[in-house]
Structures are given as structure tokens and as C-alpha cells.
Amino acid sequence: MARTTLPGGNWTLGDLTVTRFGYGAMQLAGPWVMGPPADHDGALAVLREAVALGITHIDTSAAYGPFVTNRLIREALHPYPDSLHVVTKVGADRDQQGGWPTARDPESLRRQVRDNLETLGVDALGLVNLRLGDATGPQPGSLAEALDTLATLQQEGLIRHLGLSNVTPEQVAEARSIAPIVCVQNLYNLAHRQDDDLIDELARQGVAYVPFFPLGGFTPLQSSALSAVAERLGATPMGVALAWLLRRSPNILLIPGTKSVAHLRENVAGAGLALSGDDLAELDRIGR
């Protein structure tokens, strides 16, 4: 498919220009993000279609699979176009049961950065998010030791820019006193609005906010109000949910996941929908 102008335009993460419409690769791995994909060639096709559509921001982690999504990205897209920025994250490992044990001591973080470099096939990582908290969400506590380790790796030239994931506003403030932070990746969508104030604050500071689970995650969003607006606009509910996020704040970058080329195209088209004041008011009420 020919390259198109993506809805939302561009954003700059440090010196990396990315499309606000990106792609989240996590669910390309096997069930519950463990093991190989059910459809290997289909996964490669989705990644290649994302780039063909003009997407320049792909979100991943060596923990996905583990190593599965990074290797798929490498197989589909290496050598990477200069315009493409693959964003990764560190801070958790995987165990045999598919759990996400915390791994934020200096040696574990160095190992995860090495794993990402090797599996993506690059000499330096464009942007690394430090993932805190746990599967239940952000947890309070200092991130200083972990962020210091990543800042050292940045000085060594292995990382260009730093971001945070699954964090509290207090941790964002602490991090920004230690090193420049270009993005925050937390759970947020039409139905989960806990970060409304943080998004507005980051927008004032020029820092990107990247909602994870923008479509609801493993159980995509279901809401009668969302369906009603989508029906009125002749669109899909997922498309409307993405269009709402792009309208919510200019610093929001999208990384919706899908294993389907058809859904990817549908989501790009949907994100470009024009939402009226009435549509927005109706959608706003979903998460309040």
C-alpha cells in the first residue's frame, strides 16, 4: 500500500521525529505474550504494512516472548529505514509461568539493554522506557538507582533517549530531576482516565504521553456509548477510541496493537475521524 499521511501528524521525542500514530508489537508474540506467534508470516506482514502506511514509531521489548517481537521486527524490517524508531523497555524479566518479575538492579538492566541491542540488531537504542510498578499498576518508591544505571548507559552511547513506563506523577518528577525524560507510557484509554492531570502537565512540559492498552488491551473496549458514536459516524468502535485519544491532547502518541493487517488499516482510517463536540462529550462520559 502507498505511504499515506497519518492522522495526528508528527511528534518529536528528543531528536527523533515519530508519527503520532504508531504501532505496539507486544501481542505479536504467542498467547499472553509468551512464545512464537500463531501466524509468523502474518506477523511479518503487519509490521511491513505498518511501515508501508508511514508509521515511524514501533513499541516493543525484549521481554515480549521473550525476544519474540524484537526478532520479528528485525526479520521484517532490518535494515531499518532511517525514519523508523523502535522504542523498547526494560525493568522486568519473564518467568516460566509467563509472569513479569521485576528486574531493575544495575546488572539486570545492563543485560536487558544488551538483549534489546542484539535481538533488534542495532548498535544503539533510540529510546528506552524504564518500566516500574508491577502488573497491578504503578507502585510508589524511588527510581533513582535504576534511572542512574540507564543514564550511564546513555552516556556510554548505547541509548539515545530515556522514557518511563507504569509510573506515578511523583516518579515522573523525580526522574526529570535526574535525567531528561522524553515520554511517559502508562495505562490510559477512554475507560481508564486516571492520568488525565498527568497528561495535561506533561503537555505543558512538552513531554509525550504514550497510552498503553489504548484499545483496552487483551479485552478490547466495550461500551454502548462508544458503539453508538461509532455507528453514527459509520466507523468502528476501535477507530473512534483512537480518534478520541488523538483529540484528547497533542502530546498523546498512539501504539495500538493488532495481529491483523485489516485491523491496522481500519485503525489508521478510524483515527482520522472528525469528532464533533457532541461526540466528544458523549465519549468523555465513558470514563468518568
Ligand X SMILES: NC(=O)c1ccc[n+]([C@@H]2O[C@H](COP(=O)([O-])OP(=O)(O)OC[C@H]3O[C@@H](n4cnc5c(N)ncnc54)[C@H](OP(=O)(O)O)[C@@H]3O)[C@@H](O)[C@H]2O)c1
Tell me the per-residue interface mask from 139 to 178 with ligand X, x by CB under 6 A, - otherwise. Answer: --------------------------xx------------
Whole-angstrom distance, CA of residue 265 vs CA of residue 31 = 23
Q: Which residues are catalytic?
A: 64
Chain-centroid distance of CA 2 in Å reads 24
Is residue 24 a contact point for ligand X (CB under 6 A)?
Answer: yes
The answer to the question of residue 267 lying near ligand X (CB under 6 A) is yes
Q: Give the nearest distance from C-beta 277 to ligand X in angstroms.
A: 25
- Note whether 259 binds ligand X by CB under 6 A: yes
**Nearest CA-CA partner of 175 in 199, 197, 202, 194:** 202
| Subset of residues 103 to 132 that bind ligand X, contact rule: CB under 6 A | 131
> Which helix or strand (DSSP H or E) is residue 199 part of?
helix 196-205
Q: For cell 506477523, what's the residue?
A: 43
Residue (of 260, 257, 215) closest to 60 by Cα position: 257
**238 scored as a contact of ligand X (CB under 6 A):** yes
What the block records as the C-alpha cell of 134 is 508491577
Which window, 120-128, 145-153, 253-261, 280-288, contacts ligand X (CB under 6 A)? 253-261
CB of 27 to ligand X, least distance (A): 4
Q: With CB under 6 A, what is the number of residues at the site for ligand X?
A: 28
Q: Is 30 in the site for ligand X (CB under 6 A)?
A: no
Our finding on whether 185 is near ligand X (CB under 6 A) is: yes
Beta carbon nearer to ligand X, 11 or 213: 213
- Of the candidate spans 35-43, 75-83, 194-202, 214-222, the one that interacts with ligand X by CB under 6 A turns out to be 214-222
**213: contact with ligand X by CB under 6 A:** yes
Which cell is 273 given?
Answer: 475521524
Query: C-alpha distances in angstroms, 247 versus 27, 55, 250?
Result: 25, 18, 7
Q: For the purposes of burial, counting CB atoms within 10 Å of the CB of 207, is it exposed (0-12), middle (13-18) or buried (19 or more)?
A: buried
C-beta neighbour count of 51 within 10 angstroms: 18
Question: Which positions touch ligand X (CB under 6 A)?
Answer: 24-27, 59, 89, 131, 165-166, 185, 212-217, 220, 236, 238, 255-260, 263, 266-267
